[in-house]
Amino acid sequence: MELLIEKELNSRDKILKPDFSCKTGRELLAFYLQTKFKQIFAFDKKCSNPVFIKVNPSFTDNFSKRLINKPSKRFLIGITGESASGKSTICKQIKSVIEQFEMPVTVLSTDNYFNDISVLINKYGSFDKLIENGYDIDSPQSFQMSALRNDLIDLSEGIDIKAPMYLPNGTGVSVPNAFDVHSEKFIVVEGIATMYEDIKDVFDVKVYIEADDTLRKDRFLKRACEERNQSPENALKQWDYIKNAGEKYVLPAREEADFVLNGNSDLKYFAQILEYIYTVTNNFI
């Protein structure tokens, strides 16, 4: 990928920068990007550990139409995947690369939109006992879906929001209007709820992160025991629930994703792909 970037920077075969304020200029850029995306996908297929597991055949056409017809709208990227697949890690990498080129980016987690279940936790005595009594924390009904959809639509239109914050301390408390979220040019949203029915159509690009179950289990147990002070027994019990919930609620989003990405791919290589996309969209004369 470094060779592709260097070749692009040193190429003498460059085009005059289009006028993106007019439709014709945007159409030229869209056509140009279509050829570059094909180049990226072809290059990636030859790698020993490719990033792209699956690419939706309609992605380039849909992306082009979005670029041409809605130039002023903020660009929303939705990232989902089963627990411990690598969503947050790749999300941070996207943010890091975008910021590297001094481009404004907003990052938001759908986990902030869990319902307040503090009353239920008090009733049953603990979060674990609530789950044991049948509460399905990962179901769409456990999220503030209407508020999430409205906030994402506002962000896409350039309107700043105040997002809620769910406290991950076992109390089940959700604090309304807890922190400011600025509507930047790029808005990256990650979490299991990203592709749920009520909000999936809001996103311009849908990304599904996939990783081997054994790797996911190891990641989850390590995080539960080392970062959340859970006992190995309790962590294993929670893993069984999360695995089943992921198959039920999250896995169906794989079929509708624009990209299925390898959650165990080399992040340096992944960053180079993002850098190449930036280079080809800014390397004009």
pLDDT tens sequence for the chain (285 residues): 666 656 666 766 666 677 878 899 888 888 888 888 888 999 899 888 899 999 999 998 898 888 888 888 899 999 999 999 999 888 888 888 888 888 888 999 999 999 999 999 999 999 889 988 999 999 999 999 999 999 999 999 999 999 999 998 889 999 999 999 999 988 999 999 999 998 999 999 999 999 999 999 999 999 888 877 778 888 898 899 999 999 999 999 999 999 999 998 888 888 888 888 877 776 655
Q: Residue 58: what residue type?
A: S
Burial class (CB in 10 A: 0-12, 13-18, 19+), 261: buried
Could you tell me the pTM of the whole model? 0.90
Domains belonging to the chain, first-starting first, are 1-51+267-285 (no CATH), 52-264 (3.40.50.300)
Supply the pLDDT for residue 2.
61
Supply the pLDDT for residue 82.
95
As a whole number of angstroms, the distance between CA 100 and CA 92 comes to: 12
Supply the pLDDT for residue 261.
94
Supply the pLDDT for residue 7.
64
